[in-house]
Copies of this chain bind each other. A is one copy, B any other.
C-alpha cells in the first residue's frame, strides 16, 4: 500500500480523497495555492505545501510544482481528483518517470479517450455503438444526401470547426437536406472561415446516462450501474441520480456490458465513466469516456455501498478489485444536487465569504463540501460549494429528503442555486422522470440559448 498520497486538487474532492486515505490509514499531503491557505484540505491533510499563486496555471495546473511537492514530502502516489490535471496524460507520464504512482488510468488510455475522433474509432472497432454519422467532411449535397439516407432521418449537420451550436442544422426529412446543407456551409464559412460540414444522426430529446466502471491491474473490469445526468445547464450537470428511472434491468445489463467492453478495449485501469447519449427508444450511443473519478460518483456509492475513491487507491496500489460483477447490488435511490455559488436566476457566480452556514442532516443525507462558517468561496476557482446528496428506499423518498434538505440550506454571504434545485424538486416532469438534456431549457425558458440542439 502507499505510505503517503499527495492530492493534486482543492475543495470538496481534495477532502473526499483525504477521507478515503484516512480510512485506509494512508498519510496525506495537500497542495494549495496562496488563495487556499485557509482551506480545509490544507487543515485536514497530514501535511500541506503551498505550490503557487492563486491562478490555476501557476498552482493547481503547475506540474513541476506538484511533482516537487510530492518529492519533498516523500509522497509515493498522486491523486488528481477531477478537473485540473485529472485527465492529463502528461502528468501521468511524469509520475511514471518519477516513480510516483498516478492514481488513475495509464497515460495511453487517458490520451486516447481525450482525442474524441480516435476514441470514436476505437469504440466502433470494439463494437461499442457510436452515433452514426459521415466518416468525415461531406463533399457536396449528393454525398450528404447519400449519407443521410444510410443513417436515417432526422440528421444534424454540424460545422467541422464549430461549437456552441453555430452552423448546426437539424434536418427531419430528405427534401429539406439540400437547402439545409448549403445554409450550414455558408453559416460555417461565415462563423469559422471554413465551410466544412459533417453529418450525424440527430437524437431528439436525448438523455445523458453514464456508466461507472472500475478496473484493476489484473484485467478485471466491473460496472457499477448508471447515473442519470440529464439535468444540465449548458452542458454542466447540476442534478444526478442513480438509478435512472428510464433504465430497466435489462438495459442496465446491456449498457453496463458495453461500458465494460469499452474499458477493456483500451486496457483501462482504475475508475472511469462511459457517457452515453440515450434516445427515447432506449438506443444508446457512446459519447465519451471520462478517465477519472467524477463529481457525481457519490450517488453510485450510495446505491451500491461501495467506496469508489478507496477502491481507486487500492487498485492503484496493485490490489485486485474488492468486488466482482455479481457482488454489485443496487439498493434504493440516490440524488445529488450540486450547490453552486451562483445566482439561482441569472447563474452569475457569487463568490464571497460564507458568514453563516447551516447544512442539513438526519437520515439519508450525505454532504461533501469544503465549506464552513467563515470560509471564503474563492473567485479563482469553480463555483461548486457543496454536493448535497440524499438517499432513500425509492426515488420519491430521496426526492422528499432532498426537498427538506434544501429547505434548510443556509449560506449567508453568498448566493447559491439551492432555491433553483428546490423548485426542480417540485417540477412535474422531474418528478415523473421525464428528463432529457433539454430539461433545463424548458424549466427556465427565459434562459434558453440560441443554440438548436448541441448535446
Contact = CB atoms under 8 A, between A and B. Distances in A.
Interface in A370-414: 372-374, 393, 397, 400-401, 403-404, 407-408
Contact of A361 (B301, B367, B373, B403): B367
Interface stretch (A15-23, A286-294, A335-343): A15-23
Number of copies: 2
Given A361-B367, A362-B15, A368-B362, A23 B307 contact: no
A366 interface: yes
Given A332-B305, A373-B373, A393-B305, A404 B19 contact: yes
Contact of A374 (B356, B364, B408): B356
A331 interface: yes
A92 interface: no
A237 B372 CA distance: 30
Assign chain A's interface to a size class.
35 or more
Interface string A112-123: 000000000000
A413 to B, nearest CB: 12
A404 B22 contact: yes
Interface string A333-366: 0000000000000000000000011111111111
B363 A19 contact: yes
A314 interface: no
A40 B307 CA distance: 32
A366 B363 contact: yes
Contacts of A369: 361
A190 to B, nearest CB: 50
Nearest to A323: B393
Interface string A259-296: 00000000000000000000000000000000000000
A153 interface: no
Contact of A368 (B40, B357, B361, B404): B361
Contacts of A366: 361-363, 365
Contact of A301 (B298, B306, B363): B363
Given A298-B363, A307-B363, A331-B305, A22 B403 contact: yes
Contacts of A374: 356, 373
A2 interface: no
A44 interface: yes
A22 B332 contact: no
13 contacts: A15-B361, A15-B362, A16-B362, A19-B362, A22-B400, A23-B404, A44-B408, A301-B363, A306-B393, A361-B366, A361-B368, A362-B366, A365-B366
